[in-house]
Structure 1
Amino acid sequence: MSVRTATADDIPELVRLREILADRMAQDGSYPIESDWRQAYADSLKERLGSDDTAVYVVDAPEGGLAACGMGLIFERFPGPSLANGRCGYIQGMTTDPGHRRRGHSRAIMARLMEWYRDMEVRRVDLHATSDGEPLYREFGFVDDGRLYPALTWLDPS
């Protein structure tokens, strides 16, 4: 198995894998899924692939298409006492096609993402986990950090 950087040719498969993840997240009680997200997602991928603040890694399926993917984003916040360079990361879209699970694809992608974050001098990375993915993320050192203030979210009710 080889992890590689995604290209524009992978966008249709990245959208397909994101749809699998959305369905899985709904099982854990996720937010409602909007009907017109696919094109916006594809457009955003096309714009961000290859940028300095985005890493998208994939594993090819032997029969064609993608077996798995994972994405890392870097955000610039104001520097502060606990984040002197202001750089923080977010992992999104970690998905393995159901026919390719339990083969180490997500683990290999996570290792590559964490290497990228270290190379980019990002010292804080957040993510939201499904119940399926949580054990893997904990293996990489992700924790419920009781030192942090509560994570609160606002969603436009309209």
Structure 2
Amino acid sequence: MNSDANTSAASPDASGQPAVRAATAADAEAICRMRSAYVLSTPLTDAWLRQCSDDLAPRLTPAGDARAYVIDGPDSMLAACALGLVSPVLPAPSYPRGLSARVQLVATHPDHRRRGYARAVVSALLDRLTAEDVTLFELHTSPEAAPLYRQLGFSGSPALMRMTRRSDSAPPPAETSSGSTWVPPEQHAQTLPPSVTFVCLYVTDEDERPLGLRSVYSPSHPWHMIGGALDLGETPWAAAVRECREETGLDIAGPPRLLATVYGPPRDRRPYSTIQLVFDGGRLSDDQIQRIVLAPNEHDEARFLSLDQWQELMPATDFTRLRAAAEARRTGVAAYLDTWGTA
């Protein structure tokens, strides 16, 4: 490509805006090359490009499940593209046809960025899908691009953004007497970011040395407090009692005493936030310690060590949580942490 082509813009339409067109099967290879070059962390090999192009081409036909809009660039290249994949879901009042779409990729060639091309192709894609009675939309994006999608109606964290959108022919949402728009609960639920709740038990011996269980499956977090995720329908304290019995063979009586609340934001490999509730599991007597029986599929060793000793064995965020629980027991003031898993 020569230097003039590198800096030239995509051809505008009669209104002076970039000319956006619906993609066809003939655009499959160009879209896959945009995905390889500007979306994936590792570019595809030629063999994978051929495989992806062969897969996408028939799906871009009217009978297929893919819809895409593009802006043509110079030299038969694309300046920008947006691809959505339609899939069925169980119907609900917010999506009566039972159709959803995932915005699979949005890409803009570096020479054509900051010109509104991404907004143009995404808007065209959403309009097309809405006209086909798709009303539930999802996408994954970067924190930098999230503001664009919020302007288009999406909500949630960049790891999973959602939107329900009806066609113009659909009845408008009802308004409350205050003038605000009422949203059905099932529709509102689709816009909420996903999260998972965990419980932990801060347990010590009678010398105030915290208990740690060595994991057999998590080398990056080798030492754990007793704990785990809530089962469906389970309360946090019931989960703590169950986890203690499963992981150590011991029963705790309570009453529940919350020491810390720990929040973890979404990450690339964990597209949901986490809430950890750290309860006081009490001080174990020598007899109780002798009766600890570990679950071999989870832990292979139990230790009671001082905080200074634990600091040498734990990642910084793990130790910060442990120290906060110890301080909360000492002072009677519950701790709050909101940077779990960010380091």
Q: 1:6 aligns with which of 4, 23, 29?
A: 23
Equivalent pairs: percent with the same residue? 34
Change over 3 Å in CA distance of 1:123–1:96 after alignment to 2? same
RMSD across aligned positions (CA): 2.8
| Higher relative contact order, structure no. (Cα contacts within 8 Å, ≥ 6 residues apart) | 1
Q: Which residue of 1 aligns with 2:71?
A: 59
Report the secondary structure of 1:106's partner residue.
helix
Q: Which residue of 2 aligns with 1:99?
A: 111
> Are 1:46 and 2:57 matched, yes or no?
yes
Task: Could you tell me which runs of 5 or more consecutive residues in structure 2 were left unpaired when the two chains were aligned.
Answer: 1-17, 157-161, 163-187, 197-268, 270-343
The one-character-per-residue Cα deviations of 1:76-128 (angstroms, maximum 9, x if unpaired) are: 12224553321111111100011110111111111111111221112210001
Q: Which residue of 2 aligns with 1:147?
A: 189
Task: Could you tell me which runs of 5 or more consecutive residues in structure 1 were left unpaired when the two chains were aligned.
Answer: 27-31, 154-158
> Are 1:19 and 2:19 matched, yes or no?
no
Q: Distance in 1 between matches of 2:144 and 2:21?
A: 23
Q: Does the 8 A contact of 1:21 with 1:93 survive in 2?
A: no
Structure label with greater radius of gyration: 2
Misfit runs of 4+, over 3 Å: 32-37, 80-83
Report the secondary structure of 1:130's partner residue.
coil
Matched residue type, 1:39: R
Q: Which residue of 2 aligns with 1:117?
A: 129
The one-character-per-residue Cα deviations of 1:108-151 (angstroms, maximum 9, x if unpaired) are: 11111111122111221000112332121111011016834738
Q: Distance in 2 between matches of 1:100 and 1:71?
A: 18
Report the secondary structure of 2:189's partner residue.
coil
Change over 3 Å in CA distance of 1:73–1:12 after alignment to 2? closer
Matched residue type, 1:111: S
Change over 3 Å in CA distance of 1:34–1:88 after alignment to 2? same
Q: Distance in 2 between matches of 1:33 and 1:62?
A: 22
Q: Which residue of 1 aligns with 2:102?
A: 90
Q: Distance in 1 between matches of 2:44 and 2:25?
A: 24
Change over 3 Å in CA distance of 1:41–1:3 after alignment to 2? same
Q: Distance in 1 between matches of 2:195 and 2:33?
A: 29
Matched residue type, 2:135: R
Q: Which residue of 2 aligns with 1:156?
A: none
Q: Which residue of 2 aligns with 1:132?
A: 144
Report the secondary structure of 1:93's partner residue.
strand
Matched residue type, 2:114: R
Q: Distance in 2 between matches of 1:40 and 1:90?
A: 21
Report the secondary structure of 1:94's partner residue.
strand
Matched residue type, 2:25: A
Q: Does the 8 A contact of 2:94 with 2:135 survive in 1?
A: no
Q: Distance in 2 between matches of 1:90 and 1:34?
A: 21
When the two structures are aligned, how many residues end up with a matched partner? 147
Q: Distance in 1 between matches of 2:43 and 2:34?
A: 15
Matched residue type, 1:112: A
Report the secondary structure of 1:147's partner residue.
helix
Structure 1 position 62, deviation (Å): 3.5
TM-score by length of 1: 0.78
Q: Does the 8 A contact of 1:20 with 1:95 survive in 2?
A: no
Change over 3 Å in CA distance of 1:151–1:105 after alignment to 2? farther
